[in-house]
Amino acid sequence: MSSVKLFSGSSSRYLAEKIASSYGKPLGNLTIQKFSDGEMSPNFEESVRGADVFLIQSTFPPADNMMELLLLIDAARRASAKHVTVVVPYYGYARQDRKDKPRVAIAAKLMANLLSAAGADRLMTCDLHAGQIQGFFDFPVDHLDGSSILIPYIKTLNLPELIFAAPDVGGVARARRFAKYFNAEMVVCDKHRKRANEVASMQVIGNVEGKDVVLVDDMIDTAGTICKAAEVLKDKGARSVRAVATHPIFSGPAYERLEQSVLEEVVVTDTVPLTKQIEKIKVLTVSELFARAIQAIHDQESISSLFV
């Protein structure tokens, strides 16, 4: 059987080191030279010929992270790697997965085309913004579920009046999975936007009086929606409100909003690095999840056991 070689891009080194540690193998040697104008030139410092190469890199902004990953794929291909699997804990541009208005790009599909054109054989990712994005790829996609990290933590809280909430209509299916696992009720926060990242109004569908509410989302960006939802839920009589999400984008005023919000805590994973640490934020690691998935793929075994 071919050997496994793990390599990390620049943006996800913090997570790649934890994945490699959980897997029990050190990261491979890799250098990325940068020219004066910012142009990147990656170089594998060891042979990858005939190896199963796993390239770990989330594609959050800036776009350099995606470009670096594409160059790494190309370099591995040209160095005669047997298989090249891209491990993308957070798949950027996933929110642009359809034409929701005229004359816009479908960026999620474009990113898939680029990875395919560069020579990737497989994608491993976690909690895509929309599950159907898997269909944009012409090669296998291992779509891991962040709930296998978040649900065990929620269990430890032992909340007496647990109820789940979707912060918007698009998150209903995700919140329902959590509610079904705990045999709990769920409510929906129906929001109306004026423009991107700005919530105009919000209504709660369901009763939260005296309940311990857990808001479930795949990502938190500017935190406008999640903080507004928490505020409305509190106004409707919720005893406590906390949020769980896989991807902590936390851009713009997110940290300030979370600090000033009525949320008890915000539980996220380390698919995206935090730029600031505040008391309300708790970070769980996905390293063990990805390490086990890498092992299963290399051994050509099912990854079903990794799902809750």
101 labelled catalytic:
no
Structure tokens at 51: 């190896």
Whether residue 15 contacts residue 270, with contact meaning beta carbons closer than 8 Å, is answered with yes
Q: Quick one: tokens of 53?
A: 């190469």
Q: Which two three-digit tokens encode residue 75?
A: 């370099």
CA distance 183 to 109: 36
Dig out the tokens for 199 from the structure: 């919530």
| Cross-strand partners of 244 | 216, 267
The one catalytic residue among 5, 82, 191, 276: 191
The gap from C-alpha 77 to its chain's centroid, in whole angstroms, comes to 26
Quote the CA–CA distance of 112 and 45 in Å, as a whole number: 27
And the tokens for 89? 């804990």
CA dihedral in degrees (233, 238, 172, 202; nearest 10)?
-10
The full DSSP string for 256-299 is: HHHHHSS-S-EEEESSS--SS--TTEEEE--HHHHHHHHHHHHT
Check: CB of residue 81 under 8 Å from CB of residue 33: no
- Write the single-letter amino acid at 111: M
Q: Which residues are catalytic?
A: 191
